Amino acid sequence: MKIDLAFTPYELEKKDPRGKAVVVIDALRATSTMIVAFENGCSGFIPVATVEEAIQLADLKKDPDLLLGGERRAMPIEGFHLGNSPRDYRPEKVRGKVVVMTTTNGTQALLAARKAAEVFIGAFLNISALSRRLGEGERDVIIACAGEKDLFCLEDTVCGGAIIDRLEKGGVPISKDDAAVAAKLLYEYYEGDIYGMLAGCAWGQYLEGVGLGKDVRICAQVDVSRLVPVYREGKIFLDR
């Protein structure tokens, strides 16, 4: 198995995901929030690029079980039912619901991965379950970091390195591109204090500054979920 890592959605498109399995990571916060939502009974997500697309889709479907969720600069979007905080997605709000989601970085990375043969949702919360799922497959893998507005971010890269670490410890024979090697080294450096890494990275500090520091602690939990959401035909859901 060959493992490539893309630091940004732009790099993912350059790596050509066709025929490969892609793992999309937005550790702070979109993919972490999605996993929490599924744990709380959410039926699925429909990622879209813009606020306007989300509103148009909701208006078109006129479905009472369809919610609008997302953020811009980490803050909830006016008129939406939900933001991008995992604390928003409580069972009483999301059980049985589908969320049309737009975020600054995470949904952009998902849309960039659409041409892949398989797309999985990854975060620190489901590293081991995700790695087992990848190890069961026979496809080469691209780990797609959401980044920050098409720039490198530490937290997604470290999470990607954690996935590589789990694959190797699981005995999966892999080869890595240079970006994947770097991600694994970063994970080894921060492995003992994932929360400290998240709290100290640029976006973690920003979240703390706008009163969302509790989200960082939730996103720092490692292996608390066995769920591996998939993105297929425009929707994120649990297929097994």
Which residue type does 187 have? Y
SS3 string of the chain?
A: CEEEEECCHHHHHHHCCCCCEEEEECCCCHHHHHHHHHHCCCCEEEECCCHHHHHHHHHHHCCCCEEEEEEECCEECCCCCECCCHHHCCHHHHCCCEEEEECCCHHHHHHHCCCCCEEEEECHHHHHHHHHHHHHCCCCEEEEECCCCCCCCHHHHHHHHHHHHHHHHCCCCCEECHHHHHHHHHHHHHHHHHHHHHHHCHHHHHHHHCCCHHHHHHHCCCCCCCCCCEEECCEEECCC
Which pLDDT does position 60 carry in this prediction? 82
The tens digit of pLDDT for each residue in 163-208 reads 999 999 999 999 999 999 999 999 999 999 999 999 999 999 999 9
159: which residues sit within 8 A by CB, 6+ positions away? 25, 27, 122, 123, 124, 127, 145, 187
Which residues does the chain have with pLDDT short of 70?
A: 240
Which pLDDT does position 240 carry in this prediction? 65
> Tokens at residue 222, please?
């490692």
Which pLDDT does position 239 carry in this prediction? 86
Which pLDDT does position 107 carry in this prediction? 93
HSE-CB of 101 using CA atoms within 13 angstroms = 32
